[in-house]
Amino acid sequence: MAEINKLSVGKVLDKLRRNDAPKKSKLMQLDEKAEKMDEEIQRLRAATRRLKTNPILADPEGHIIAGHGRLQAARLMGLAELPARTGLKPHLEGPAS
């Protein structure tokens, strides 16, 4: 008895679309790749600007309250300085007695 393979309709349609799609030249592929890289560079520049303008929040002893991710990203990017607001008290202390 022959084995019957099941294919999803979506997979079959995707395969048909790929086969019908016109082949792109190497130059067109390179242009698309360059355009995607330009878009990624613009996103990274915007993220860096936000990183440099959004301060890290720290308590009087220098413990970070908010901005752990920004600090880690700055370290990975090799930034030497970031804006910070210090002297804040964390909300974890509970109600005053």
> Domain residues of the chain, as ranges?
27-87
Residue-wise pLDDT for 23-78, tens only, equals 778 888 899 999 998 888 888 788 777 777 788 888 888 888 888 888 888 888 88
Which pTM value belongs to this model? 0.45
In three-state secondary structure terms, 68 is helix
pLDDT of 8 strictly over 60:
yes
Q: What is the pLDDT of residue 50?
A: 77
DSSP codes joined into one string, 26-59: HHHHHHHHHHHHHHHHHHHHHHHHHHHHSPEEE-
CATH of domain 27-87: 3.90.1530
